[in-house]
Amino acid sequence: MTEPVSTQWIDIAPGFAGYLALPPARSGPGLLLFQEIFGVNPHIRAVAEQYALDGFVVLAPDVFWRQAPRIELGYVGDERQRGMQIAQSLQPAEVLADIHAALAALRARPEAAGRKAGTLGYCMGGRLAYLAAASTDVDAAVPFYGGGIHTMLDRAAAIRCPVQFHYAEHDDHIPLDAVERVRQAMAGKSAEVHVYAGAQHGFNCWARASYQAAAAARSHGRATAFLAQQLF
């Protein structure tokens, strides 16, 4: 029996790769999936496959390709510190260039050609999804607990696509007053802001102590419905 989801690493640019997951139909709208600080690790690859099962052509670019290509890190201790160090070394201009390159590569795939494309990301990747919405022509964006978005609200004016934000009620990195600032900055735009009661930062990741199944399930349902409405 053919596997429902087909996966492979593809080249986006010389040295810059991404994890591609194709849906059962082997074609569909594009979805650019941005990693956390832990690389395109087993969780992010599983999320790519999860959304591929939902019908999207998913590309998860290796954001750390310049610093530590294809690195996969755990969530605690030295590996967490390593991820933080790499993330802090990223250069904004290079990150924006990589966002544009990854989106172009996704749109150029025959499986997604001529279709709409959106973006989704978690933590650092949530911030990158927000930046993609503000700096590219993506058709929809879904940032999950995007760290630092509330410090980049001057970019909100440039956003033209619908955006769906997901936040935890108890997030040591993103206090609720920061969430409220995001909500206010997006007022008047096509935007949703969802806050999950009792949840902590990283609630979607089943490999983390902060995983909350109820919040993960509800947010995935909302995100899938939103992306289906905007991209299909």
The phi-psi region of residue 22 (left if phi > 0; otherwise alpha if psi is between -120 and 50; otherwise beta) is beta
Cβ 17 vs Cβ 111: under 8 Å: no
- For the annotated catalytic residues, the residue numbers are 123, 171, 201
Around Cβ 214, how many Cβ atoms within 10 Å? 12
Cα–Cα distance measured from residue 20 to residue 192, given in angstroms and rounded to the nearest whole number: 28
> What 3-state DSSP class applies to 111?
coil
Cα–Cα distance measured from residue 220 to residue 226, given in angstroms and rounded to the nearest whole number: 10
108: its two tokens: 């150029």
Cα–Cα distance measured from residue 47 to residue 45, given in angstroms and rounded to the nearest whole number: 5
Give the DSSP letter of residue 179: H
Handedness of CA 20, 50, 46, 216 (dihedral sign): positive
